[in-house]
Amino acid sequence: MKRPQVVETVSDLRAVVREWRRQGLSVAMVPTMGALHDGHVSLTRIALERADRCVVSIFVNPTQFAPTEDLDKYPRQLAADLDRLADAGVQLAFTPTAAEMYPQGFDAKVTIGGPSAGMETDFRPTFFEGVATVVAKLFLQTLPDCAVFGEKDYQQLCVVKKLCRDLDIPVEIIGAPTIRDTEGLAMSSRNAYLSPVELTQARQLNKILRKTAQALQLGAEPQETLDEARRQIINAGFDGVDYVEARESNTLAPWRRDRDGRILVAARLGATRLIDNVEIAAV
């Protein structure tokens, strides 16, 4: 398969998209930070089902990393990423530098309330400000008809949807199902950090969440059930649990039994922080 065209500047990106528009073609976007895996590829396939052309951005966004996080260590493998995009049939890769995205004197920030409150924000206070700012820029640079985000980063998906609603950004946001390995572990670029022993322990996380969701659907008391999930995660070998929360699916307000919900978790295993979520059906 032919590799996608690669552009590094906003002006070149806009020139390609402008030509597609001149031809009457629709455009989808998949924002990524690279180190692509099967989960990312599944997003591009959905994008190409919904539009004539697909742009994938590959940009490790520094504004969503705290000073103590793994910005410098985050995996970067552009050649392999382009091979994956070629196999998926993606037409364009946007690979800007940090200076292209945040030139000297850049001061703007986008802040989103509502679904950004709590959970990730409790541990990464500036994370969603960085996400909302870079996603807003990518949408304005590309002007896609739709964009595809994975449900694994469920709180992020809700934040991006609210960003577009509140700012009248005319991009349809499509949530794509989480891609998992054969034992249920959610695909993540950070899984590459896990040792063989940690990988076995990590695969217990989704199993615990599913049992917890089933217990809640059967009428178990929410806080006791979530506390038990936390204990089970620690007993599975995790070093810590940042949060285990039951929230409503759309607003991320505290879950009520008559609403569809999600259990969301962030847990630490060695040097790796894993996040995941499962659905809770309305009772």
- Give the list of residues 6+ apart from residue 203 with CB closer than 8 angstroms, or none: 181, 183, 184, 185
Beta partners for residue 90, in sequence order: none
Residue 110 phi, psi (nearest 5): -110, 125
Q: Where are the alpha helices (DSSP H) in the chain?
A: 10-22, 38-50, 78-88, 98-101, 120-123, 127-142, 154-166, 196-202, 204-217, 222-235
For the chain, count helices (H), then strands (E).
Answer: 10, 9
Task: Report the amino acid identity of residue 159.
Answer: V
228 in active site: no
37 is known to lie in a ligand binding site? yes
188 is known to lie in a ligand binding site? yes
204 is known to lie in a ligand binding site? no
190 is known to lie in a ligand binding site? yes
36 is known to lie in a ligand binding site? yes
29 is known to lie in a ligand binding site? no
156 is known to lie in a ligand binding site? yes
153 is known to lie in a ligand binding site? yes
Catalytic entry in 7, 40, 82, 139 = 40
CB 146 within 8 A of CB 28: yes
151 is known to lie in a ligand binding site? yes
194 is known to lie in a ligand binding site? no
116 is known to lie in a ligand binding site? no
87 is known to lie in a ligand binding site? no
101 is known to lie in a ligand binding site? no
CB 30 within 8 A of CB 148: yes
C-alpha distances in Å from residue 263, one per residue of 27, 76, 80, 100, 129: 33, 30, 33, 37, 23
CB 146 within 8 A of CB 174: yes
Tokens 């998209």 correspond to what residue? 17
249 is known to lie in a ligand binding site? no
Point out the annotated binding site for (R)-pantoate: 64, 156
Point out the annotated binding site: 33-40, 64, 150-153, 156, 179, 187-190
Point out the annotated binding site for beta-alanine: 64
Return the active site residues.
40
Point out the annotated binding site for ATP: 33-40, 150-153, 179, 187-190
